[in-house]
Chains A and B, each alone.
Chain A
Amino acid sequence: MARVLVGVKRVIDYAVKIRVKPDKTGVVTDGVKHSMNPFDEIAVEEAVRMKEKKIASEIIAVSCGPAQSQEVLRTALAMGVDKGIHVEISGPEYETLQPIHVSKILAKLAEQEKADMVIVGKQAIDDDCNQTAQMIAGCLDWPQATFASKIEKGDKEITVTREVDGGLEVIKCKLPAVISADLRLNEPRYATLPNIMKAKKKPIQKLTPKDLGVDTTPRIKIVSVEDPPTRQAGQIVPDVDTLISKLKEKGHI
């Protein structure tokens, strides 16, 4: 049976309308509702389903970030993960933390924990990078199955259906492998109250990047973060005829 490592990120909740800081250094995060990155919920759900199907033996969730990252680890534990690892990174170091750092941390942990599969979301909805899975796979020299919408585990390999630009494709990856979860992989469950209570008793190990020998020196300088250009207010047209004539005026039809 496989050991599965899942990566979970604490991000500003997807329904929140974000605000750019007046000094243009970033977006306002204080006092803003955060939750687990939606793609990571899908990754956790898939791991838990593997355990329910007796494909996975143990699931370990990892989150890199400030103290509050433990909240998302608790959520993962309440969904059925066995143990959590919190790699604490806060302050200015967290501001410039990038997928390259996170993937090195996860790669180290995958080795330490003797994982057969690492599953992460395909992208975080804050930085929209879409890099971590690919970089973990690169660090470990493991195969990668990105944008997965279906995973079937064989003995020494997995067969994965991927969502690609023109449709779907199927690939076969040798184990151990790294997978990134796409939207349609599954429908994540809600943590029930008894499971939330049980999750409080599950262990969360605390580590620092230093413990793992990972250097988190910034690779980028953030020059500025600004609001996107706003669109000019449009107009409501009374009927289809007016709409067609407006589009003709503009030369679109």
Chain B
Amino acid sequence: MFSRHVALRFTGQFQRFQSTLLIAEHNNETLLPITQNAITAAKKLGGDVTVLVCGTKCGPAAEQLSKAEGLSKILVAESDVFKGFVAENVSALVLETQNKFKFTHIVAGASSFGKSVLPRVAAKLDVSPVSDVIGIKSPDTFVRSIYAGNAIQTLQATDTVKVLSVRGTSFEQAKLEAGSATIEKITSDSCNTQLTTFISQELSKSDRPELTSAKVVVSGGRGLKSGDNFKLLYDLADKLNAAVGASRAAVDAGYVPNDLQVGQTGKIVAPELYIAVGISGAIQHLAGMKDSKTIVAINKDPEAPIFQVADYGLVADLFKAVPEMTSKL
């Protein structure tokens, strides 16, 4: 009993020396929700959390972040150098900040932004990064999935600085209400590496909720047979206020753009309700959605592997079942 108390106190003391740098993700207009998930993960590490915001316009994101509870400070680097958030320049800033403050952990959401920047930072620090963390057991022990989610690996990182990207759907979103973190401006003069220039972007526009944070997702696969038929799913999604996703087969066939792809190499989602329509359920697709709370499969092939993970399966022709469902909702 006594020794357990000592151990607990020791951990408590140890954790006070933890300090985390969290790299915020925003689009110069608003904070991106994955940062709120990352805040929760960063707090689980047990120490102070400092957030770094860089971009051409940081005001809105910094203001939103200042309302998050439990952050020690927000560092803001506003400069044209961060146009397009090019990985080379953002990494240079993260390194500069790290060299100054010596954090024990550097964290970002496992989005395409986080995945681009963090390993570059880790290489410069000569540490091994840990990708797409789904659980934090202690300040040095992390859980992640491997083999498309078919195995769960627990690892202990032995490097002095831990560089982690965290899976958004595995951590709750921190609320942006009661906090009052201070905002501090920092300079970024030396961050223009001139290695890469951002040219342009073409983002898919949609009125629907964002795929990775939607409560309900309706996804279509090869069974939809054409891009036009995806309208059936959009109609159903409108009734459910759902985001629309797709399998790789549907993307490769050109039915929908590839940022809708759910799976091992696309987006990882974990909504309350996932409705898979005309999707067979290859392991690569399951990797992206099998943590959904309730899974519904609509497929005419009773042998489709998707039925093995579905809570409710409907063996039917989607071209009849989906419109029927839409009209009855």
Interface residues of A (CB under 8 A from B): 12, 14, 17-18, 20, 27, 39, 98-100, 103, 122-123, 125-132, 134-139, 141-147, 149, 159, 162-174, 182-184, 218-228, 231-232, 234-237, 239-241, 243-244, 246-247, 250, 252-253
A134: nearest chain-B partner, CB-CB: B119
Contact between chains at B265 and A183 (CB < 8 Å) = yes
Q: Is the interface of B mostly helix, strand, loop or mixed?
A: mixed
Given contacts A219-B157, A247-B273, contact A253 B240 (CB under 8 A): yes
**Which of A128, A139, A170 is the one whose CB lies under 8 Å from B145?**
A128
**Which of B130, B196, B259 is the one whose CB lies under 8 Å from A174?**
B196
Given contacts A222-B153, A225-B152, contact A12 B131 (CB under 8 A): no
**Which of B147, B155, B283, B310 is the one whose CB lies under 8 Å from A221?**
B155
Contact between chains at A167 and B259 (CB < 8 Å) = yes
A219-B127, A252-B294 provided; 9 other pairs, C-beta below 8 A? A130-B115, A135-B122, A135-B129, A164-B259, A165-B112, A166-B203, A167-B204, A219-B158, A234-B295
* A138 → chain B closest CB, angstroms: 3
Flag whether B180 is at the interface (Cβ < 8 A). Answer: no
Q: Which residues of A contact B151 (CB under 8 A)?
A: 18, 20, 27, 225-228
* B323 → chain A closest CB, angstroms: 10
Contact between chains at A243 and B119 (CB < 8 Å) = no
Chain B 294-328, CB-CB to A under 8 Å as 1, else 0, gives 11100000100001011111111000010011001
Q: Which residues of B contact A228 (CB under 8 A)?
A: 145, 149-152, 290
Contact between chains at A167 and B145 (CB < 8 Å) = no
**Which of A100, A125, A144, A147 is the one whose CB lies under 8 Å from B122?**
A100
**Which of A122, A173, A225 is the one whose CB lies under 8 Å from B153?**
A225
Contact between chains at A223 and B259 (CB < 8 Å) = no
**Top 3 A-B pairs, shortest CB-CB distance:** A138-B123, A134-B119, A143-B195
Contact between chains at B294 and A224 (CB < 8 Å) = no
Q: Which residues of B contact A100 (CB under 8 A)?
A: 122-123, 126-129
Interface residues of B (CB under 8 A from A): 84, 86-88, 91, 111-113, 115-124, 126-132, 141, 144-159, 193-204, 216, 240, 248, 251-252, 257-259, 264-265, 267, 272-273, 283-284, 290, 294-296, 302, 307, 309-316, 321, 324-325, 328-329
Contact between chains at A144 and B196 (CB < 8 Å) = yes
Contact between chains at B147 and A171 (CB < 8 Å) = no
* B109 → chain A closest CB, angstroms: 10
Contact between chains at A240 and B111 (CB < 8 Å) = no
Contact between chains at A240 and B321 (CB < 8 Å) = yes
Given contacts A234-B312, A243-B312, A252-B272, contact A168 B155 (CB under 8 A): no
Q: Which residues of B contact A127 (CB under 8 A)?
A: 146
Contact between chains at B156 and A221 (CB < 8 Å) = yes
* A139 → chain B closest CB, angstroms: 5
* A168 → chain B closest CB, angstroms: 5
Query: Complex: how many Å from CA A212 to CA B193?
Result: 28
**Which of B113, B196, B199, B329 is the one whose CB lies under 8 Å from A253?**
B329
* B125 → chain A closest CB, angstroms: 9
Contact between chains at B264 and A247 (CB < 8 Å) = no
* A34 → chain B closest CB, angstroms: 13
Given contacts A144-B120, A223-B141, A253-B329, contact A129 B131 (CB under 8 A): yes
Query: Complex: how many Å from CA A138 to CA B129?
Result: 13
Contact between chains at A172 and B196 (CB < 8 Å) = yes
